[in-house]
Amino acid sequence: FLRRRAIPGVERVDDSTYSRTVRTGNGEAIVSVGLVDGEHALELRVNGADSMDLFELSCAARRVFDTSADPSQIAQAFRSDPILGPLAAASPGLRIPGAWDSFECGVRAILGQQVSVSAARTLATRLVERMGTAVKSTSPCLTALFPSAQSIAEGSLEGLGLMRGRIAAR
């Protein structure tokens, strides 16, 4: 799910790790969430964040990866449903992906209306290239923050391939 939607420069996904740039209350950071070898666990790594932002970042990671969900309760609740029961049994432990930032989630929802996942990703990439903020990173793949509400409100959305209705949604 996350790999298909990853915005180049902002996010990077490989077989075992999801990484991204994030704006924090005190600056910016690079977060990586990866599988722990041999365990059913995730590890959160944070680079460049002020210590005051670590709690906020850990809460966001828990939300994005839905770690508060109890898979056994979900399986039990869906077990008798003729549609959801077989789906839950076929994918035990499946989680509902969350969002790092509610504003970014809203923008991505608008960009993704009535277009394919690939087209929405292209539009988001163009938006980041035009209005995103460059970050200092040791990763050549993570180079920008998703645009802020202010930069989108003040910037021009013309020429990005957006329909007038999406531009008006700003």
Q: Which tens digit of pLDDT belongs to each residue from 117-155?
A: 999 999 999 999 999 999 987 788 999 999 999 999 999
What is the average pLDDT score of the chain?
93
Nearest-5° angle of CA 41, CA 145, CA 169? 110
Which residues lie closer than 8 Å to 132 by C-beta, 6 or more apart?
9, 10, 144, 145, 146, 147, 151
Q: How far apart are CA 79 and CA 104, in angstroms?
A: 34
Q: Which tens digit of pLDDT belongs to each residue from 31-62?
A: 999 999 999 899 999 999 999 999 999 999 99
Percent of the chain with pLDDT over 90: 82
Q: Residue 18 in contact with residue 2, Cβ under 8 Å?
A: yes
